[in-house]
Amino acid sequence: MTLPCTTILSEIRNYRMFSQRLAGPLPIHTELIDRAMSETVSHFALHALNRDWSTTAAITTFDLKLDLVQRGLESGIGIIELDSIDLLHSMRREMDAASKEQMERAIQLLQGFETNDIMLNSLRLEVLASYGGLELMVTKEEAVAEMRSIINAEPSSENLTELASLQDMSVEQVLSQSAYSYISRMFEDVFQGVYWEAYHSLDDEEKPKLLCLAGQAKDAGFWSDWVLSELLKFEGEDVVAIYRRWAIGIDAESFSPQEAVVSFMLAIKGWAKHESLPPEYRVPTTVDDLAWKTMGQLLYWHFRQAETHSEFKRIQELWNRLSHETPDAVADVLYQLSRSQWRAREDSFEIRLETLYSDQVRPLFEHSVERRASLTSIFRHGGRQDPSVIRYILDTLGDIGNQNTISLLNGLVEDPSLGTASIKAIAAIRSRLDKL
């Protein structure tokens, strides 16, 4: 079997990124630099260096990086050209410390690069904009005016009604999609931060109005979690209505499960700030949907910071319900919650339910190990189809397992795919128990 060099290099990079023992450059870093900068440039060396910048960025000078970018852009090889532009993108923030000449060189490299590849050229323009190499498409004042035109729009106006008719949408949909579009532009390099500044120029009455409109968008995408996170700063019935919309259920068809999950969590957190009972969830149609409904109720009481005996009892009842009604679905639910929280953009948001409720999670995960071939998910590629789920379960058991867990995991130490993770978990459990 042969593997493409890109696949091999990507696997090496991914392993090194998540390994605590492999910090620093590749052992052949110096040789790769020499080959990439030689008169007869080595395209393999350029490709290998581009794939390893995450571990070598701090030890390479601006001038050398720019030299390598130039070599890459002159290579005529699409993937190396892409990596070179991506390198310029990744180093944009640190380039604030570069000299004026170095900044100008970066801009000139991007301006001088020509390609017929539409996607590559689109990326080039975005990166060029982030370096200030494009004229502003819109001023801050114009962006503020655009946002306020949506915030203060009169739904019955003739122009708005005609626009909605032309787009075959309701007036409300036109307003919400426009608001979400302006929010999205806040994060697009091509607009060079203009819409970000415009949003922060709005007052505290205007911001939640724009956010609530964006939160109603039918085709809300990558930034819906930011909208919900930002709304946590505000109060009002309109704000609560947006939380109700996003807490009604998990979007199982989302192109980004992580975004769907964190949006659901943020909506429940926002709802818990204002309401004394959990939000209404849609009628579950599958076991996985039922598991998310139950977990949503559990999260609600967790966010309410349960203090009374009856509230703690209610949380325990929900864990029991997960155990009895959805035992093969709960592991994926907890996995999705765990891996999605980085998107919440809130310093205080991280929740480790596995640690907070270790006595409840431990038997669920032990069951999941035994039933690993039957684990389900609301998402198309989750549960037993995602190897990361069982690895997450084993890693977590290493943190919360007991002597009974060790007995279970001993049966996996010879497993070709799970043996190493099981041995690691057993060692972690023993180390922790020895300290008690």
Q: What is the signed CA dihedral for 119, 122, 124, 125, rounded to 10 degrees?
A: 180
d(CA 31, CA 5): 18
Residue of 307, 420, 399, 403 whose CA lies nearest to 354: 399
Could you tell me the maximum CA-CA distance found in the chain, to the nearest angstrom?
Answer: 75
In angstroms, the Cα distances linking 126 to 69, 111, 302, 308 are: 16, 12, 41, 53
Task: Quote the pLDDT of residue 94.
Answer: 85
Task: Quote the pLDDT of residue 1.
Answer: 39
d(CA 154, CA 171): 10
* Buried-exposed string 119-151: b where 16+ CB fall within 10 A, e elsewhere: ebeebbebbbbbbebbeeeeebeebbebbbebb
Task: Quote the pLDDT of residue 305.
Answer: 76
Residue of 14, 94, 12 whose CA lies nearest to 388: 14
Mean pLDDT by 10 residues, the chain (436 residues): 54 48 65 86 82 60 88 88 88 87 92 85 84 81 93 85 81 91 86 90 96 89 88 95 95 88 93 93 96 96 77 91 97 93 58 90 97 96 93 96 96 94 96 89
Residue type, 98: A
CA dihedral sign, ordered 269, 270, 274, 275: negative
Q: What is the signed CA dihedral for 44, 26, 81, 222, rounded to 10 degrees?
A: 140
Residue with tokens 């039922």: 290
Task: Quote the pLDDT of residue 256.
Answer: 86
Task: Quote the pLDDT of residue 188.
Answer: 81
d(CA 348, CA 119): 37
Structure pTM? Answer: 0.74
Task: Quote the pLDDT of residue 16.
Answer: 45
Instruction: Print the SS3 string covering 304-366.
Output: CCCCCHHHHHHHHHHHHHHHHHCCCCHHHHHHHHHHHHHHHCCCCCCCCHHHHCHHHHHHHHH
